Structure 1
């Protein structure tokens, strides 16, 4: 029987490794992941200014206005300079980062592909009429246009690659320096790519729509419905943990698919909050990071409370502080949790349980929905993150409740695994 169990484990691990390897080696998935990671720091930076502009404390705005002797709109507007130049143009930034990333993986001229993709993205971007004439609104290049940005970057690079591989380009003499010849060699691939996207813009104009709306309503809407549901989040968390269980980096694989979807939902909440309305999307990037990820830390807390074996007691003491900052490697490798079938049930399910319970708390109005004004790094400690992303102490209380819940889930399993460890230590 043990041999059959080991054979099944090895077979399943091998198949899962092949799948993860295929995902990890897929240049398009990796490009999306890398592009989103490159964009993330700007969301953190802008969030600092948004926190100051819309601080979640009653009377703060009046206090600052009285000290500065000006209307709140004046000093808030100056803080929003950074936001308007970063998060507010999230789609534009992602168009740049993804085209740069995929061009590098295709071994193309990254600068020329990036510039071509930027031109193509602006060609597809709908214009609005203003007193000054034709203009592009910030909404048209915000995170709401992120799906359009991703597709523009990927397809621009692919078109460029096809033309480049066919050798359809202006060839300069070998004596011409690469810095001079490269722009000329990219002229024809860039021209063809731009003509194709220009034709797409003419088609959308003729249909009375625009590329951003069309993509969001056809591709984006189904993705948001699935990825933006509590069941989609729970599945993503279980799958992420399954990859981690077999030693694969589940976070990097799942984030490549989930982050663009969650960021769109986050941006919708942020726009509503800035307009003085209540956010409507329970599922968002903040929810996924700071409420749906409270699970495995319960195993560390459970070990601190009930463990008697020296290994579990020492590892839990070492792992508890890093885990409150989202760093789980000491626990994953120290207990260990990976490939430990005594702990597989809570390891796979605790994050999903925290996601479902948190969703219910938001849905029934016990906790205000995350505002989108504050986008924190995953290393932000629990309690602090809950307060900041919701703008309410109830967000912090919910995280505490989730901590207690997942700890209770882990306790019986930690007790069994700890007893085995204790017996082994006594034998030695």
Structure 2
């Protein structure tokens, strides 16, 4: 068994993980990850008014009904403008990897996204695609903006200012060509070409969005997540907050809008569903293992359980994964690989049978179980 697991660990380390890590470290994926991670505080704070406006107690709900529109303003300003913030964050993060003016890139990206997703109609901006439905458009515009800015600077197609001009003014003029091209191209596509850019991009990505919410895709993500952790790499950062972040964020935004409209919740797989079930006590759902350790006859495991208990309650499990150790442990890796796929299969089937409610609120990931599960469906 030990020889098999050693060979398996070597296979993961030599064959599976290098391309995954290369993908995770690729500058565009890293920029997308950073851009989405930067709006997580906004999503968490924006979820709170939704809970207050629609409390779980009927008498409270009747009491707040006259003030519901006012209470939901922060929700609209966070979830409703989510893609606008992502457009800034992704472009800013990508531009910084090229040593470009990250602020100028972010502002230009926001302008381009507004032109693409929020055309002026009767002296008012349409906000239909500024929320989660425009997320993929925001990411594409952000990447194009940063890459165009890099190309202009590399090619020398920028406005040169004389020596002695303050750096901030010089940087502003350097970005004029990028701003002009972004505005012109998007205006031509949107106005002259009469193309609804967000709708076109959404229809293009729709098959991927649908597939990403299926059980096979979810299970594949769980296996990759656990494989990364098995060799000491932070699988949550790479899979949940990295490669799958655009899909999970878009799903959560769609669920929140559906809940607000009183419609059925469309998507199962969101970050709260992942964190609340597959990450009870941390990656691999290790919280029950801590309680077993506290009853263990092994002095070492009992001590690990004591040290890991408080962090585990708040879904931080490095003390148990490295203290046992679970990482690179041939015996412990067997349940480690099985835990998240089994849990997510059970929860997925339960959700299909309407035994589990799909999430539409994002609590902080350190919220203890079962408080997390309660908040995410309030």
TM-score, normalised relative to structure 1: 0.82
Distance 1:32 1:51 in 2: 28
Cα deviation, residue 15, structure 1 = 3.8
Query: Does 1:122 pair with 2:111?
Result: no
8 Å contact kept, 1:125–1:136 = no
Distance 2:2 2:129 in 1: 59
Flag structure 2 segments of 5+ consecutive residues without an equivalent: none
For the residue of structure 2 that corresponds to 1:28, the secondary structure is helix
Query: Does 1:380 pair with 2:370?
Result: no
Cα deviation, residue 331, structure 1 = 0.6
Query: Does 1:366 pair with 2:352?
Result: no
What's 2:33 paired with? 33
Offset from partner CA, 1:218-271 (integer Å, 9 cap, x none): 12x122122211221221111111101101111111121212101211112211
Cα deviation, residue 107, structure 1 = 1.2
- Equivalent residue runs for 1:415-426 within 5 Å: none
- Equivalent residue runs for 1:48-87 within 5 Å: 48-62=48-62, 64-65=63-64, 72-73=65-66, 75-87=67-79
Offset from partner CA, 1:369-402 (integer Å, 9 cap, x none): 32x1x211111111111112123xxxxxxxxxxx
Task: Say which is worse superposed, 333-342 or 265-274, in terms of deviation.
Answer: 265-274
Query: Does 1:304 pair with 2:297?
Result: no
8 Å contact kept, 1:125–1:211 = yes
For the residue of structure 2 that corresponds to 1:165, the secondary structure is helix
8 Å contact kept, 1:230–1:283 = no
Offset from partner CA, 1:258-314 (integer Å, 9 cap, x none): 121012111122112111223232222321221233423333233334x21111111
8 Å contact kept, 1:292–1:358 = no
Cα deviation, residue 121, structure 1 = 0.5
What's 1:396 paired with? none
Aligned residues: 373
Distance 1:385 1:14 in 2: 37
Larger Rg: 1
What is the aligned counterpart of 1:227 among 206, 209, 212? 212
Distance 1:210-1:389 versus aligned 2 partners, 3 A rule: same
8 Å contact kept, 1:327–1:379 = yes
Cα deviation, residue 127, structure 1 = 3.6
For the residue of structure 1 that corresponds to 2:278, the secondary structure is coil
Offset from partner CA, 1:38-76 (integer Å, 9 cap, x none): 0000011111222111112222122x35xxxxxx13x12
What's 1:401 paired with? none
For the residue of structure 2 that corresponds to 1:171, the secondary structure is coil
What's 1:316 paired with? 305
8 Å contact kept, 1:230–1:359 = yes
Distance 2:5 2:254 in 1: 47
- Equivalent residue runs for 1:134-145 within 5 Å: 134-145=123-134
Distance 1:252-1:5 versus aligned 2 partners, 3 A rule: closer
8 Å contact kept, 2:33–2:242 = yes
Task: After the TM superposition, list the runs of 4 or more consecutive aligned residues in structure 1 that deviate by more than 6 angstroms.
Answer: 1-5
What is the aligned counterpart of 1:105 among 87, 97, 104? 97
TM-score, normalised relative to structure 2: 0.92
Distance 1:6 1:287 in 2: 33
Flag structure 1 segments of 5+ consecutive residues without an equivalent: 66-71, 392-428
Distance 1:288-1:137 versus aligned 2 partners, 3 A rule: farther
Offset from partner CA, 1:195-236 (integer Å, 9 cap, x none): 22223324651xxx41111111112x1221222112212211
